[in-house]
Amino acid sequence: MYVNIAVLKETTLGERRLALVPGVISGLMKLGARLHLEAGAAENLGLSEADFPEVSVIADRAELVADADVVLCVQPPALAVVNAMKPGAVLISYIYADAEPTLVKLLIARRITCFAIEKLPRITRAQSMDALSSQAALAGYSAVMLGAMGLARVLPKVTTAAGTIGPSHVLVMGLGVAGLEALATAHRLGAVTIGYDVRPETREQALSLGATFVDTGVDATGKGGYARALSAEEQAKVAKVLTTHIQAADLIITTAAIPGKPSPKLISSAQVAGMKQGAVIVDLAAGGGGNCDDTVPGETTRVGPVTILAPLNVPSMLAEDASKLYAKNLANLLGLMLHDNILTVDLTDEILSACVLTHDGERMNAPALAAPKTAEPAATAFSGEVAAGSPSENA
């Protein structure tokens, strides 16, 4: 007896990652998996079917998932895929339920157990399964590379017979995984690095990476990794300090993204207007609308003296390494359920219970209805991760 695992080809525009790579196959097979891959799925990685000798390759999607006990993918699957899955099967992928209400209803109707990878809890035991973090690290690295290519100047200090140029000043706003990797990468490339986050405890992390830390004098630490709402007075104080650093920077990288929700605004149009000629902003939160007032998601725009890059699905730009990390994340998550050729979904496990979206015909972890508000709170500052996936669908 084996547990059949089917892996979909990603068809979302711009999605080049894959939920299975050769490096995780032997481990899954030892747990009792029999693997099936959709034909052509590995082409974006420059791999062929010969690179997956132990995997059965199937061209028809409906046939691929019909007998699958587990279906793996990156982006949310098409409705036709879910309709072809057998009741009780397990789906693991990014979902972003708020953006996929029809898909969620179908998962419930088909009695599919769905684990939304973006809901994985940020606890030590789950670190090896945390796809948001693994993909965010690659996004942070990529942001520096993209920004460096957009600049008309070099990042490090360079001394020549004709004189000395550089270094550039790089400001990173939001010191989650993506932001810290961006700081580390820019520092390695010789830039002067500055980090900012509303949580003062990130100061030590920035300093450990060779950066200075912007201290606004406001502690906005809240619950669950989110910042509390700022008063109008606090917002003005923060803006005044940040404006000085924003307008002195050659390259700014913003990373504050809330998976499945609009991105908070960190840079205003007025601040952009006062930036240096030739400065570049790389907005890693473009998928949620962006951290800058002037961001146009998916576009590179010129606003006065500044170029704003707003790439979408940045981890997919590094599809080979991103797939290796993502596939390993999923394999580790499957390790909680797959043992001795038997798949067991134990929802008493704190990891599985946190990221299960649907199970046995019911919606799990549904957000509670908010209580009526008597007044709108002040704008909330936020420091988060760049979302590794986007709320889109495999066609």
Name all domains of the chain by residue range, CATH numbers in brackets. 3-129+319-363 (3.40.50.720), 136-316 (3.40.50.720)
Q: Could you tell me which of 340, 315, 262 has the C-alpha nearest to residue 131? A: 315
Question: Could you give the percent of the chain with pLDDT greater than 70?
Answer: 91
Three-state DSSP at 276 gives coil
Sign of CA dihedral 93, 98, 101, 107: positive
Distance CA 348, CA 141 (A): 37
48, 56, 60, 122: the catalytic one is 122
pLDDT for the residue numbered 395: 39
Q: Which residues pair with 72 in a beta bridge?
A: 7, 92
pLDDT for the residue numbered 52: 97
pLDDT for the residue numbered 234: 85
* Pick from 17-26, 250-259, 272-281: least confident: 250-259
pTM: 0.90
Per residue in 193-216, pLDDT (tens digit) is: 999 998 888 999 999 999 999 998
pLDDT for the residue numbered 381: 37
Band (pLDDT 50/70/90 cuts) for residue 222 is low
16, 226, 323, 392: the catalytic one is 226
Active-site annotation holds for 226: yes
133, 142, 263, 383: the catalytic one is 133
Per residue in 75-97, pLDDT (tens digit) is: 999 999 999 999 999 999 999 99
CB 113 within 8 A of CB 345: yes
Which of residues 392 and 160 earns the better pLDDT score?
160
2, 51, 98, 127: the catalytic one is 127
Per residue in 121-131, pLDDT (tens digit) is: 999 999 999 99
pLDDT for the residue numbered 389: 46
Per residue in 361-370, pLDDT (tens digit) is: 999 988 754 4
Active-site annotation holds for 122: yes
Active-site annotation holds for 75: no
pLDDT for the residue numbered 374: 34
pLDDT for the residue numbered 357: 98
Per residue in 144-154, pLDDT (tens digit) is: 999 999 999 99
3-state helix, strand, coil in the chain (%, to 5): 35, 20, 45
Band (pLDDT 50/70/90 cuts) for residue 375 is very low
69, 130, 250, 283: the catalytic one is 130
Active-site annotation holds for 130: yes
The average pLDDT across 26-46 equals 96
CB 227 within 8 A of CB 381: yes
**What is the token pair recorded at 252?**
């700014």
